[in-house]
Structure 1
Amino acid sequence: MALPVREQLTYWGAAIAVFFVVLWLLGDVITPFLLGAAIAYFLDPVADRLERLGASRIVAVIVIMLSLVLVTAACVLLIAPMLIEQATQLVRSTPAMFTQLQTWLTGQFPALMDTDSSMSRSLQGIGEAVQARGGELLNRVLSSAMGVISVLLLLFIVPVVTFYLLLDWDQIVAHMDEMLPRDHAPTIRSLAQSIDRALSSFVRGQGTVCLIMAVFYGTTLMAVGLQFGLVVGLLSGLLAFIPFVSSILGGVFAIGLAIFQFWGAWPMIALVAVIYIGGQILEGNVLTPKLVGSSVGLHPVWVIFALSAFGAVFGFVGLLVAVPVAAALGVLARFAIQQYLDSRLYKGLTWHHVDLDSRNRGGDDA
């Protein structure tokens, strides 16, 4: 006999409370394990594909881990120093950009850009603030990232956790399935599959789109000679999970930098604009339909809210669990709404009698 609903809610509520308490108390400790689990979840389809091609699980995992280590090492040795250097130069060059903008506006609108005008003071203040705050923000980001993800975690704990979780992923899922309460196992499996589809469409599908677009924008902008192309391309790629926003914000920023750098060379400025137009076409018509598909994923606003809320409350570890928790809450919310729409609370007695009459007529016809 199943437990009463109130008692079941008590147990489930206690489990959720314990989960958040563990996040709060052991955030830094469990960070490498969450990172390893996230990477293993992302790469599990690749391991399954290699198994279907004839490789054993251990061989598939070894091939994946070696490839991952090589790619990570290349990024750290080749891309990270260049990215940091360009970001630092961008922060330092911002006041000069605002000065040039102020000079141009003064020539075009001398009345508005008088030395004592509010617009002139605003532009000068923005440039100085960006330089001061930007350098401070950059230093904080770098120092906090190195504090949370130390060299030890990067070189040892995270790869080891990823290796073992990826190796035993299917067994872990099977053991978790055995632990489900038997009365609710079919419903929980259905919800878990919906959560996996929503999560995979975002993490695997949209995450892959973000990586591809970051490489595309960064490579093409650097190829045309834009000074801070790598930084702008990376930011545009990371924002690719928000439809149109990455192209609009990244495009405006890149074109502004192109105007500052290539002033008068309009073909070069137009080329930067063409890159973002082509990137939007590539993302919307090729990558997103192929990699994300039409499955129900996560709404961008919901993702932004989850990242902001969990990041503010739980710090870096909150950012790691924000998307999975958001996917789970979204699926549970849709499930609860569907249960409500099927209930007498929504339909009322009139619809209830109509359903009974239609069923009775169906039984009589049979």
Structure 2
Amino acid sequence: MTLQKQVGFWIGGLVLLILSLYVLRGVLLPFVAGLALAYFLDPIVRRLAKLGLPRTLGALFVIGTFVVLFIGLMFLIVPILANQLTAFIARLPGYVVQLQTLATEQNREWLQKVLGERLPDVSRSVGDLVSQSVGWAAGFLQGLWSGGAAFISLFSLIVVTPVVAFYLLNDWPKIMVKIDSWLPLKHRETILGLMREIDRALAGFLRGQAAVCGILMIFYGVALTASGLNFGLLIGISIGFLSFIPYVGSLTGLILSLGVAIVQFWPNWSMVAIIIGIFVVGQFLEAYVLYPNLVGESVGLHPVSMMFALFAFGALFGFVGLLLAVPLAAAIGVLTRFAIRQYLASPLYTGVPREGPARSEK
């Protein structure tokens, strides 16, 4: 087979895969989630297998433990978070109005020089806009939750995902051997090398960043709740969840926490300083302790490229795209670096033709 036919075959296969994902995106969620869960838990099952536990029993034990812990956390935390989220959405317009009042009352003379007599109208317009936006968001979330499709997706995610993860964990070595046997013999070592590089990037980021997010959830949730901040648990867990994208979670949480703290504790600036101190400690913990030790430098995913991947794949495939964004971004990054290395070693870059058998003169 010529090089052109090989390239056409693989490009056609890639296009077919993307089209299949797009067409089947409505039913892929539990299967993609099960694959992600199996990938996360496979090192634990491998370690148990090395200790002498059969892989089937190890996979059953790990999945069972995960399901029990997950259900326990759902019953303990989700009702609290739901109540806090409902109350936060209801009180958000009032918080915005109070922040506007504090800002305009303290700086009325300076703002009137800039905005003139339009200052009250501007404040009223912004307050009305925020109220309308919050009302729309609340209605949208309520409609999304009450829809039958959402209920079916949630049910399939809770029931089907552990089953899929168990079967994948149980048969993981066989699946890897089978996939290896399908690789083109001539390029098998190159492809296996790329797959190992992709696996290192994913293992370094997904498992490491998941651990970072979990620790930050606990730290910010406990610290903000202990400080007496309203909705501290909700904000803390949101920070940990959004910390999957570096700096986004901490910046979003800082803005929310400061806004709530100023309204709640005004004019007690010492409590606002305590909230700022919590984020200073959290940033130090994330940047100098957690991230270097749990994630490291083997990721190869820039935060900007990761944000673009999350937005792009999320827009194309919905929640399934969010689950696939980081693995696909890591794979694309590895393949792009490989293509660049090939280009730098090619005559297209060096301008020197590669050595080959000399042509016989006629």
TM-score (ref. length: structure 1): 0.88
The farther-off stretch of 127-136 and 29-38 is 127-136
1:270 to 268, 273, 278: 273
Counterpart of 1:97 (choices 84, 95, 103) is 95
TM-aligned CA deviation for residue 209 of structure 1: 1.2
**Which of 170, 181, 186 is the matching residue for 1:183?**
186
Distance 1:316 1:157 in 2: 16
Contact 2:33–2:157 under 8 Å retained in 1: no
Match of 1:108 in 2: 106
Q: CA deviation at 1:70?
A: 1.5
Query: Structure 1 281/140 Cα, relative in aligned 2: closer, same or farther at 3 Å?
Result: farther
- Runs of 4+ aligned residues of structure 1 deviating over 4 Å after TM superposition are 113-116, 143-146
The number of residue pairs the alignment matches comes to 350
Q: What secondary structure sits across from 1:178 in the alignment?
A: helix
Q: Which one-letter code corresponds to 2:73 in the other structure?
A: C
Q: Paired residue for 1:172, among 155, 171, 175?
A: 175
Rounded to whole Å, the distance in 1 between the matches of 2:148 and 2:302 is: 27
Query: Percent identity among equivalent residues?
Result: 43
* Residues 76-110 of structure 1 deviation map (CA, whole Å, 9 limit, x = unaligned): 21111211211111111112112222322342133
Alignment of 1:1-366 (within 5 A): 3-111=1-109, 112=111, 116-117=118-119, 118-139=121-142, 142-143=145-146, 147=150, 150-349=153-352
Any stretches of 5+ residues in structure 1 without a counterpart? 354-366
Q: 1:244 to 1:155 in 2, by over 3 A?
A: closer
After superposition, the Cα gap between the structure-2 partners of 1:144 and 1:347, relative to the gap in structure 1 and judged at 3 Å, is: farther
- Shift of residue 131 of structure 1? 2.5
Question: Which has the higher mean CA deviation after the structures are superposed, 140-149 or 23-32?
Answer: 140-149
Q: Could you tell me whether the CA contact under 8 Å between 2:300 and 2:333 is conserved in 1?
A: no
- Structure 2 portions without partners, runs of 5+: 356-362
* 1:224-261 alpha-carbon deviations (Å, 9 max, x no partner): 22111122112211221333332223112212211111
Equivalents in 2 of 1:305, 1:148: separation in Å? 29
Whether the 8 Å contact between 1:148 and 1:316 is mirrored in structure 2 is no
More off after superposition, 135-144 vs 36-45: 135-144
Task: Give SS of 2:26's match.
Answer: helix
Seen in structure 2, the aligned counterparts of structure 1 residues 143 and 274 have a Cα distance that, compared at 3 Å, is farther
Secondary structure class of the residue paired with 1:264: coil
Which is further off, 176-185 or 227-236?
227-236
The separation in 1 between residues aligned to 2:103 and 2:67, in whole angstroms, is 50
1:151 deviates by 4.6
Which residue identity does 1:257 align to in structure 2? V
Distance 2:226 2:146 in 1: 30
Q: CA, structure 1 residues 178+18, in 2 after alignment: closer, same or farther (shift >3 Å)?
A: same
CA distance in 2, matches of 1:246, 1:141: 24
Question: What letter corresponds to residue 21 of structure 1 in structure 2?
Answer: L
How far is 1:140 from its partner?
5.1
Assess if the C-alpha contact under 8 Å between 2:95 and 2:259 holds in 1: no
Query: Which amino acid in structure 2 is aligned with residue 328 of structure 1?
Result: A
